[in-house]
Amino acid sequence: MRVVVTDYNFEDLGIEREVFESIGAEVVGADAGTEAEVREAAEGADALLNQYAPVGPAAFDAAPDLRAVGRYGVGVDTVDLDAATERGVWVLNVPNYCEDEVSTHALSLLLACERQVARFDSAIEDGDWDWKIGRPIFRQRGRTLGLAGFGKIPQRLARKASTLGLDVIAYDPYVDREELAEHDVEKVAFDGLLERSDAISVHTPLTDETRGLFDREAFAAMDEESVIVNTARGAVIDVEALADALEAGEIRGAGLDVLPEEPPDESPLVGREDVVLTPHVGWYSEESIVELRRTVAEDVARVLGGEAPENPVNEL
């Protein structure tokens, strides 16, 4: 059996080879970045492991014996789910590996924005030692954190934020009011989220429904002293609208770990003092990267061994 890793930025594939050698499967690392390159790499594969490269219909057609695509991560927007399902291919993810890391990173971005950490650091490098540069800074206790989405990661963030004295509200049309109340979180409509939040942290998957959810109209409805944090998917935020909102003073700042294009070729957000950017690193810790790789490899190995997967995204 042949397992192709379409793309990866790990130092090696030692963990994957250890898992698949136990079932007699060969692991082949590729460096694919486009659909055409993925199609070429997928030829003859029994399974794919995928990080960032797009896996579309051409890749499935090039690998008629393909049985599973395992995604290094929670989201699976790199994989054409309909094409996979039509061809009887399991799509697998790792749903719970970085809940603590991402929730902590979201809180870190929030505090960096609220406490103006990057702006102070930059000013000191320029020789300017002045606390007034970051004004206004507000006490966190009693302010309202709004969560867009309420899965496992924002649930953890809600607990961490509450220890700072933040009041937490959430918009999620798929979670009922009673479940939110169990976490001491108030359910609100999207309009209420925009109007009431002093800070918003984005945790929605990227779907047709959520793409560009935070657009010009949304930013116009937010408080001018509010900030927005995104550790989910870059395209949930219209970055041009965000840049315009910051420029117009409609909101105060943004902390982003994800962008629609990564790395950004050109972005109106790069270089702004009111924006804190990190390179899609919220998922990472030394522990989580091992858990991520081993979990998805073991699930793909289950499928190749004739067993049902533990973390399927589609239904066959």
DSSP string, 281-313: -TT--HHHHHHHHHHHHHHHHHHHTTPPPSSBS
Q: Classify 155 as helix, strand or coil.
A: helix
Distances (CA, A) of 18 to 14, 87, 158, 278: 6, 28, 37, 32
Burial of 12 (0-12, 13-18, 19+ CB in 10 A): exposed
CA pair distance 12, 44, nearest whole angstrom: 22
- CB count in 10 Å sphere of residue 281: 13
Sign of the CA dihedral running 150, 156, 161, 162: positive
What is the rounded distance in angstroms from the CA atom of residue 260 to the CA atom of residue 107? 21
Strands (E), the chain: 2-5, 26-29, 47-50, 68-71, 90-92, 144-148, 167-171, 186-187, 199-202, 227-230, 253-256, 275-277
Active site residue 280: yes
Burial of 203 (0-12, 13-18, 19+ CB in 10 A): buried
- Residue 262 bears catalytic tag: yes
pLDDT of residue 75: 86
Q: Which residue has the tokens 């490269």?
A: 53
Task: Point out the catalytic residue in the list 71, 105, 203, 233.
Answer: 233
CA dist 311 and 300 (Å) reads 10
Which one of the listed residues 17, 272, 280, 294 is annotated catalytic? 280
Residue 115: φ, ψ to 5°: -95, 5
Query: Distance between CA atoms of 77 and 309, rounded to whole angstroms?
Result: 19
Residues of the chain with pLDDT under 70: none
**Is 141 in the active site?**
no
The per-residue pLDDT for 249 is: 97
pTM of the full structure: 0.88
Count other C-beta atoms under 10 Å from residue 178's C-beta.
Answer: 8
Residue 30: per-residue pLDDT: 97
Active-site choice (262, 287, 307, 310): 262
Q: Residue 65 in contact with residue 85, Cβ under 8 Å?
A: no
- With residues binned 3-state (H G I as helix, E B as strand, rest as coil), the percentages for the chain, rounded to 5, are 40, 15, 45
* Structure token pair of residue 164: 């700072």
Cβ proximity of 299 and 48 under 8 Å: no
DSSP letter (8 states) at residue 75: -
C-alpha dist (Å) from residue 213 to 125, 131, 191, 194, 307: 36, 35, 12, 11, 39
